[in-house]
């Protein structure tokens, strides 16, 4: 069974994330959307809200599981028998950043990272942009799945 983890903070889930998940789930038997908990980060949405957004968005897909975790992603993978880390790439800067993490992860554990390019139509969307649009009372609904359209 090919299991992969798609880790992130998902603050909030965007259409870019949604697209990557929808396309990536076809590559694996199970895709675990893992919301990382970082106590030093200030989030716009609570952990419970972020988890609910993702669960609601993918409620009809039995191959997708949503969890929260703390600590190193490779430790989560080892504890849960996950062989692949799945990541989306929007641009060259993402690639350079993710490449360094992938090399480090592979050095720590026998876990492969699989990259998928975002769709051109969503490659400009990031959670930080969405948060900025929300903070400034802009129309963020074009940037997120329906489940996130709450504020």
90 has catalytic annotation: yes
Active-site pick, 17, 50, 51, 87: 17
CA distance 147 to 134: 15
Of these residues, 50, 51, 57, 127, which one is catalytic? Answer: 127
Active-site residue, 41 included: yes
Tokens representing 38 are 């970082």
What's this model's pTM, rounded to 2 decimal places?
0.92
Supply the pLDDT for residue 125.
Answer: 94
- DSSP-derived 3-state class of residue 55: helix
Q: Which pLDDT score is estimated for 40?
A: 79
Annotated domain spans of the chain: 3-148
Clarify whether 9 is annotated catalytic. Answer: no
Per the residue annotation, which of 52, 90, 99, 131 is the catalytic one? Answer: 90
Max CA distance (Å), the chain: 45
CA angle 31, 34, 35 (to 5 degrees): 150
The one catalytic residue in 26, 40, 41, 42 is 41
Q: Which pLDDT tens digit goes with each residue over 83-116? A: 999 999 998 888 999 999 999 999 999 999 999 9
> Is residue 106 among the annotated active site residues?
no
CATH architecture of 3-148: 3-Layer(aba) Sandwich (3.40)
Nearest to 6, CA basis, from 96, 27, 39: 27
pLDDT given for residue 151 in this prediction: 52
Low-confidence ranges of the chain (pLDDT < 70): 150-151
Name which of 19, 6, 34, 26 is nearest 117 in CA terms. 19
113 to each of 19, 85, 87, 116, 149, how far by Cα in Å?
18, 5, 7, 10, 31
């Amino acid at each position: 069974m090919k299991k992969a983890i798609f880790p992130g903070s998902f603050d909030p889930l965007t259409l870019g994330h949604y697209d990557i998940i929808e396309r990536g789930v076809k590559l694996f038997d199970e895709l675990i959307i893992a919301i990382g908990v970082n106590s030093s980060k200030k989030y716009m949405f609570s952990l419970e809200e972020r988890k609910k957004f993702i669960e609601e968005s993918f409620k009809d897909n039995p191959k997708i599981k949503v969890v929260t975790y703390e600590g190193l992603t490779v430790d989560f993978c080892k504890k849960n028998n996950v062989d692949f880390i799945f990541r989306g790439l929007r641009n060259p800067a993402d690639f350079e950043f993710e490449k360094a993490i992938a090399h480090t992860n592979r050095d720590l554990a026998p876990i492969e990272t699989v990259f998928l390019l975002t769709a051109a139509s969503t490659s400009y969307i990031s959670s930080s942009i969405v948060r900025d649009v929300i903070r400034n009372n802009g129309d963020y609904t074009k940037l997120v799945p329906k489940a996130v359209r709450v504020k």
